[in-house]
Structure 1
């Protein structure tokens, strides 16, 4: 229960739902107990009246006696019907309070978890896969809802019913009550054991189902690769193996499930037999009436479901505690990218790297080492290097997706750590190396950084990214909806749309992380020419492994294993006969070939 303490704040917020639900539970159980007493009165009335009825056989008084007897029985029947109706109404109100409360708590908890996810740094998402994140916000939160909803409702019902029924049964006959209750603990323990096995096997099935779903999703996402390599048969064989495992685990669950209801029926039957056997002796001793026996049998049946639910409720609490513990693990992860000063100001775009070093926390790889660079307002810098030289890491540091492990980055002479993170990022235009587009319209993808962006600005950004003609060829134009991760578009179109999204928000600092790798040389020249105009009076950082992307930059920096090996203009670096010239000549030769 320690992990579930986190939910107390929600229970306190919705305390009136819980209080009213408890009151309605008490009232509904009272209306459930009264019919059992009415049945006892009716049966005893029948037993006492029959002898008198036959005594006046053939007389007019017998007819009058019959009418009175029939009216009384009808009255009892109507009262039992009214009690059942009232019980149903209050059971409805119980669900409208406690179950509704659980839905409110589920909503709040999901919002809190999702909101917390968004505050966590990029390093967190590098070490946790998407499936695990999804499971905690869906499956785990649903398990918690089962605790604050049905499990709590059945738990309250069990407590209330036990207090009301057992206290009344004891006042009628303590000995019979003891015999009635003997099988109930055994019933609860049996259900708990069977339910625990079922729960364990259910979790195995869920895990296998997750693996099966992941395999199918991956297979359909990579269907072009599967077809290209003619691996349909191999893919089906793997799917069949996963499905066979799922079937085997499902059958194991079915075998345990087959024991569930027979065990319940057996133990309930034992309780009823004890009531009839012990009660029969009490009737012969003159301590009870037949009506009392019927009443006790009804009470046994009333207690059966709450006792059954005790095992289920215990399992649900265990599952909820386990799930909440998993949720708490993520909720306890704190965002390290915080600012004490929270400075908010328009940026001029003067960037200074001072002895910056960075080691990735998850892998321990030294990506940047002793990096020093000055970038003036409106200056464009090209950072070149081979794969793994640390180019993208610099973009991540500049966007403050990570903080340097050594040194510091200054923007306009102020440490980057002192800026309000969100306000700072609003003034950046970032085109990542791994383009991500949303399953939405083209227009909405462009205006993603500014929801109220006018259409004219969207069209201008798309035109500068050399994508306007392609969009105009689409039947729905800017309203064309993209598939998952932008699959509707080609690789080059996705990159150009990502560039349009970055420049449309009119950023103070523009960061292009190898964003032209999927376009041809001609399209690259058109985009770079357009970007040259956009980059005027705007600090720009162009990260690339292609020399052609660096020609228009004011300064070129060549990286190797996280260190600057050369820097200067294109002309200066060509005159040094170093790494830049070698890279330039290799790429020029490749283009000629």
Structure 2
């Protein structure tokens, strides 16, 4: 239970649900026990009056006596029905307190985990796969909820019922109690044993289910590739194999589960037989009345489910502890991207790198090596380089998705670590190389990240990104849903929507991380012409492998293997023999070949 202690703060938060639930459990147990006493008294009432009824013979008095006895039996029956109704009412209250409490805690815990996920740095997501993150916030939290709801509810029922019923049974008849209760430990142990086997089999089924789901998801996501290579038959064969394994594991689980109720019924039968035997002997010896046998048989049935649930509840607690341990591992993971002075201010846009060196913590790759440069407010810098030269790392450091390992990044001459993260990132517009669009409307994707963008601003941003006419060609215009990850849009359209999303928030610093890689030369020129106006008065960092994108910048730096090898204006770099000129000549030649072809 050590890991589950983390949940005590939630149990304290919803203490009134817990306390009221406990009270309702006790009351419902009382109304469950009373009918057994009423049955006992009813049987004794009938037995005691049977001799009197027979002694009256066939007379009018006998008929009147029968009417009185029958009325008494009806009263007992009415009271039993009333007790059942009242128990049902309070069981409803039990679920409306304890089960509702578990749902409320589930809601809070998922919110806490999701909020914590969002506070963690990118390095955390590079170390952990998405499936595992999803599993902890869904499957693991659901298992924890089963502990907080059903496990606590049935545990309280078992404890309170035993505390009330066992002393009463022994007070009534110790001999009959020992006989009636003797199979119960075997019942609990049997259920616990069967449950453990069921759990192991269920885990294997879950693994097969995950593999099956992953396979189907990949098949549907890559359906174009699948059809293009004519691999439908092979895909079907593999799916059939995975499904066959899943079927075999499911059948094994079904065989084990089929033992569950036979074991329960057998042990209940043994307990009933022992109760009838011991009770009969006590009645013959004159120690008990006949109704007590029926009372104890009912007690055995009352105790059956709580005792049966003991193994199941124990299993729920074990599963919940394992799941909470996994959740706690992530909740204990702290972000190293924290604000040192929590500075909230409007920035001017000056960006300075001082002898910055950066090594990715998860891979150990040295992306930047002692680089320095300065961008004045409102100016633009182009960073040119081939794949793996460290271009995108610069954008990650400016957005403070990572912290430097050496040197310093300054914003308006202040260390970037001094700024409040939310305040800083609100003033940065970022267009990533790997475009991600949400399964939402085009308008909402553009307006993402800003809360006060009206339709006119959204449309202007679309025009600036040269995607307005494409959007208007859609049947629903800006209300067109783009599908999962923007699948209904072309690569160039997705990239331009991403650009519109960055500029609609009117950032002080605009970062274009290879933002034009998926558009053709004509579209690139249209966007670059629009960008001239957008970049005016705004600090802009253009990261690209295309020299054509760098022409807009006031200054250009060339990165090779994380080091600055050249820097200057477009004209000055063209005028010297170096990496930039070689890139420029190759790309000009490539564009010429594309036009002629």
> Which bracket does the TM-score occupy, shorter chain normalised?
over 0.9
CA distance in 1, matches of 2:220, 2:256: 35
Match of 1:115 in 2: 115
Question: 1: CA distance between counterparts of 2:219 and 2:591?
Answer: 36
Instruction: Please state if 1:209 is matched with 2:209.
Output: yes
SS at 1:449 equivalent: coil
Alignment of 1:95-114 (within 5 A): 95-114=95-114
Partner SS, residue 105 of structure 1? helix
TM-score normalized with structure 1 length: 0.99
User: What is aligned with 2:239?
Assistant: 239
2:409 is the counterpart of 1:409? yes
- Which residue of the partner structure matches residue 86 of structure 2? 86
Name 2:399's counterpart in structure 1. Answer: 399
Cα offset, 1:266, TM superposition:
0.7
Give distance in 2, aligned partners of 1:432 and 1:90.
57
Superposed, 1:27-176 pairs within 5 Å as: 27-176=27-176
Q: How does 1:561-572 map to 2 (within 5 A)?
A: 561-572=561-572
Rounded to whole Å, the distance in 2 between the matches of 1:173 and 1:44 is 16
- Show CA shifts across 1:253-287 (max 9, x none): 01101111111111111111110111111111111
Tell me the alpha carbon deviations over residues 518-546 of structure 1, each in whole angstroms, 9 at most, x when there is no partner.
10101101111110111111111000011
Match of residue 16 from structure 2: 16
1:408-439 deviations in Å (ceiling 9; x for gaps): 10111000000111100000010000001111
More deviation in 99-108 or 55-64? 55-64
Return the alpha-carbon distance in structure 2 between the equivalents of residues 464 and 587 of structure 1. 25
1:525 aligns with 2:557: no
Secondary structure of residue in 2 paired with 1:448: coil
Deviations 1:530-571 (A, max 9, x none): 101111111110000111111121111111111111111112
Structure 2 CA distance, aligned partners of 1:228 and 1:382?
39
Between the aligned partners of 1:408 and 1:140, the Cα distance in structure 2 is 41
In 2, the alpha carbon distance for the partners of 1:35 and 1:377 equals 83
Deviations 1:264-321 (A, max 9, x none): 1111111111101111111111111211111000000000000011001000001111
1:513 aligns with 513
1:356-387 Cα offsets, whole Å, 9 max, x none, are 11111111111111111111111111101111
Q: Please give the secondary structure, in 2, of the residue aligned with 1:451.
A: coil
State the alpha-carbon separation in 2 of the partners of residues 451 and 77 from structure 1.
Answer: 65
Q: 2:58, 2:258 → 1: CA distance?
A: 58
Give the whole-Å Cα distance in 2 for the aligned partners of 1:166 and 1:101: 29
In structure 2, what is the Cα distance between the partners aligned to 1:435 and 1:96? Answer: 46
Find the aligned partners of 2:434 and 2:402 in 1 and give their Cα distance.
Answer: 17
How far 1:481 moved relative to its partner? 1.2
Of residues 119-128 and 424-433 in structure 1, the stretch that sits farther from structure 2 once superposed is 119-128
Give me the whole-angstrom Cα distance separating, in 2, the residues matched to 1:461 and 1:64: 95
Counterpart CA distance in 2 for 1:536 and 1:528 is 12
Q: Deviations over 1:73-99 (max 9, x none)?
A: 111111111111111111111111111
Q: Which stretch of the first structure deviates more once superposed, 362-371 or 294-303? A: 362-371
Q: Indicate whether 1:498 and 2:490 are aligned.
A: no
For residues 536 and 93 of structure 2, the distance between their equivalents in structure 1, rounded to whole angstroms, comes to 67
Q: CA deviation at 1:477?
A: 0.9
TM-superposed deviation, 1:59 = 2.6
* CA distance in structure 2 between the partners assigned to 1:99 and 1:216 by the alignment: 34
Aligned to 2:473: 473
1:356 counterpart SS class: strand
Indicate the residue corresponding to 1:267 in structure 2.
267
Deviation at 1:455, TM superposition (A): 1.4
Post-superposition shift, 1:456? 1.4
Number of aligned pairs?
Answer: 593
* Aligned equivalents of 2:460, 2:511: Cα separation in 1: 19
Matches within 5 A, 1:133-532: 133-532=133-532
CA-CA distance at 1:447 after TM superposition: 1.1
Write the deviation string for residues 324-371 of structure 1: whole angstroms up to 9, x where unpaired. Answer: 111111111111110121111111111110111111111111111111
Aligned twin of 1:534: 534
RMSD: 0.9
In structure 2, the residue corresponding to 1:344 is in which secondary structure? coil
After superposition, give the CA deviation of every residue in 1:205-230 in whole Å (9 maximum; x if it has no partner): 11211111111111101100111111
Query: How far off its partner does 1:449 sit?
Result: 2.0
Matches within 5 A, 1:544-563: 544-563=544-563
Q: Secondary structure of the equivalent of 1:564? A: strand
Tell me, what secondary structure is at the counterpart of 1:542? strand
Structure 2 residue matching 1:481: 3-state secondary structure: coil
Q: Distance in 1 between matches of 2:58 and 2:348?
A: 114
Taking the aligned partners of 1:389 and 1:530, their CA distance within structure 2 comes to 28
Deviation at 1:478, TM superposition (A): 1.0
The 1-side partners of 2:438 and 2:60 are apart by 89
Q: Which runs of 5+ in 1 are unaligned?
A: none
CA distance in 1, matches of 2:24, 2:468: 64
- Partner Cα separation in structure 1 for residue 344 and residue 53 of structure 2: 96
* Secondary structure class of the residue paired with 2:519: coil
Distance in 1 (alpha carbons) for counterparts of 2:295 and 2:67: 26
Per the normalisation by structure 2, the TM-score is 0.98
Q: Secondary structure at the match of 2:368?
A: strand
1:42 is displaced (CA, Å) by 1.0
Instruction: Please state whether the residue corresponding to 1:540 is helix, strand or coil.
Output: strand
Distance across 2 between alignment mates of 1:118 and 1:164: 49
Structure 1 SS opposite 2:542: strand
Partner secondary structure for residue 576 of structure 1: coil
What is the rounded CA distance, in whole Å, between the counterparts of 1:443 and 1:39 in structure 2?
Answer: 70
1:18 deviates by: 0.8
Distance of 1:315 and 1:29 partners within structure 2: 24
> Which segment drifts farther, 185-194 or 468-477?
468-477
1:3 match: 3
